[in-house]
Structure 1
Amino acid sequence: MRTVNSPFDTVIKLKKSVIQHGPSSNRIYLMKLHPEDYPDIIPELTGMAETHKYGKIFAKVPSHALDGFLKEGFEKEAVVPGYYAGEDDAMFLGKYLRAERRIVADDVRSMMEQVIALAGEKSTDQPSETTTPPFSIRRLERDDVDALTRLYGSVFASYPFPIFEREYILHTMEEDSIVYYGAFAENRRLVAASSAELNKVGLNAEMTDFATHPDARGHNIALHLLLLMEQDMRERGLHVLYTIARAISTGMNVTFAKAGYEYTGTLVNNTNISGQIENMNVWFKTLK
């Protein structure tokens, strides 16, 4: 669980549940719903969003809570089957408090549809198990943190969590809540990275924070990082992997399709990433 405050959006407890909120993504994100808070937390989320004039509430909840949220104006946007230790699915819901927040421009929607179509075509491609030279890929350690924050700072104009901050990376490493991976060039320069955010209780992980320096693109490094991450997650006994990828990112959506992930929906105007609020696609995979 990401629990460190970002410069703009903050992770806090609301009742016994965990939310993120702030002006950067202009939303409330219900990250973890505590069973005792349902259903009373629903009007509290709406009231808080109205007070702060947020445009959206994004909620990740178990399927048994779906009807209660739908009755209060939420819409189902995606799902991750088996998210809760294989016993229940995670529903990704959205409630729009501003009409403009649900609007997707025609050219953007066309681009999103093209990305999903291409990803579908590539889903039958078999990924190679070997790393493409001249890059070496491994799990990152404390000594890599400065290089990692520099890489993220060079790739992303903005991000929903403080991956640019050394203290944040170290904190998540030390508590073993997020595992970081990197690809290195022959000169030992970190040129690509990713992370797996662990949910040890739910036996799942979010495969996230992928970044490749422009000089190193075109070598399928993200796919090789993903393969290593999956191997690590299997060894940790996790069952479900998922990602929330930029809907207009051909490379990332194709990468997950090639690795056997299934697309389950799009979170509309959901996340401030790369300098603007973007639509995000949800993909999942059940480990065998």
Structure 2
Amino acid sequence: MDSIEKIGNSVIQHGSYNDRIYLMKLDPADMPSLLDEIDALAEKESYSKIFTKVPGSFKELLCDRSYLCEASIPRYYYGKEDAVIMSKFLDDKRSINCLNEMHEDVIKTALSKEKGMHSILPSEYSIRKCEKQDIGQMADVYQKTFDTYPFPIHDPDYLLKTMEDNVVYFGVFKEGKVVALSSAEIDYDYSGVEMTDFATLPEFRGKGLSSQLLRKMEKDIKAKGIKTAYTIARASSYGMNIVFAKCGYEYCGRLVNNTNISGNIESMNIWYRNFQTD
């Protein structure tokens, strides 16, 4: 799997698995020298893409460094400043989205769905936060759901480490067994959260469990005072894009050929929701 490291006080993920560098969290004090270090690392390892999530105030600087803005999350930082997803393609082939027509249809379909229409959780299911004793089952569900994934969520040690840090996992249970999962990766410094790691065992799909998980997570993070949520969803997945559209999220951009998931490097859509305006 790709490694997560610090450059200065900023956090990056990089490696051949996703064939990229991802600037996950920026300490503004590291700019602009951080960009030189990232460029040097990308050249050394022959990566084909760099992508970053940074405050909008850095957009002009990154544009001057040949980055393109692929998405923008309004009021992500402290509920005030936009986050911009800025990417640099180091191989022209990686910048070409061969499935663009299909991806546009996914967005069109998702946006056509009526917001606020949700299924009811069947009585034989329950939803709660996951605990350490659930980790074995969680790893098994993720292993059965994804052939590949950008982070090692099939590894119990990784799940434990993130659970003890800033990630809250939620599960749908039936007869004491985990059948669906999701997580809220909370950035307390900036009052933002990524809604991610959705997985449902094949035999339990089509029951609206992802929507139920998303609503449960929203209730929890609102209570923590988090202001803005976003997700990075597979651009080819009608189901997940529809889930977020129906739950009131707004589409705000696409990351082309960005993430190794389900066996291939795929493009990803960004959706966001500001809870301050609800």
TM-score of the pair, normalised by structure 1: 0.93
In the alignment, which of 102, 107, 112 is matched to residue 121 of structure 1?
Answer: 112
1: CA distance between counterparts of 2:116 and 2:27?
A: 40
Find out whether 1:151 has 2:141 as its counterpart: yes
Partner of 2:258: 270
In the alignment, which of 39, 46, 57 is matched to residue 64 of structure 1?
Answer: 57
| Other structure's SS at 2:6 match | strand
Q: Is the 8 A contact 1:132 1:221 kept in 2?
A: no
1: CA distance between counterparts of 2:61 and 2:116?
A: 41
2: CA distance between counterparts of 1:254 and 1:57?
A: 28
2: CA distance between counterparts of 1:98 and 1:36?
A: 29
* Structure ranking higher in strand proportion: 2
Q: Is the 8 A contact 1:129 1:227 kept in 2?
A: no
Partner of 1:180: 169
Aligned-pair CA distance for 1:129: 7.3
Partner of 1:217: 205
Aligned-pair CA distance for 1:125: 3.4
Superposition pairs of residues 1-288 of structure 1, within 5 angstroms: 8-105=1-98, 108-122=99-113, 124-128=114-118, 130-175=120-165, 177-185=166-174, 187-287=175-275, 288=278
2: CA distance between counterparts of 1:129 and 1:199?
A: 30
> Residue type of the partner of 2:219?
Q
1:243-276 per-residue CA deviation (whole Å, 9 max, x = no partner) reads 0000001110000000000000000001111111
2: CA distance between counterparts of 1:251 and 1:83?
A: 25
Aligned-pair CA distance for 1:178: 0.3
> Residue type of the partner of 1:125?
K
Tell me the percent identity: 44
2: CA distance between counterparts of 1:149 and 1:258?
A: 28
1: CA distance between counterparts of 2:80 and 2:266?
A: 31
1:96-144 per-residue CA deviation (whole Å, 9 max, x = no partner) reads 0001111121xx222111110000101x232337423432111111111
| Other structure's SS at 1:227 match | helix
Note the aligned Cα RMSD (angstroms).
1.2
Q: Is the 8 A contact 1:127 1:223 kept in 2?
A: no
> Residue type of the partner of 1:167?
D
2: CA distance between counterparts of 1:234 and 1:152?
A: 26
Q: Is the 8 A contact 1:131 1:137 kept in 2?
A: no
Q: Is the 8 A contact 1:66 1:91 kept in 2?
A: yes
1:134/1:110 Cα in 2 relative to 1: closer, same or farther (>3 Å)? farther
What are the ranges of 5 or more consecutive residues in structure 1 without an aligned counterpart?
1-7
> Residue type of the partner of 1:180?
Y
What are the ranges of 5 or more consecutive residues in structure 2 without an aligned counterpart?
none
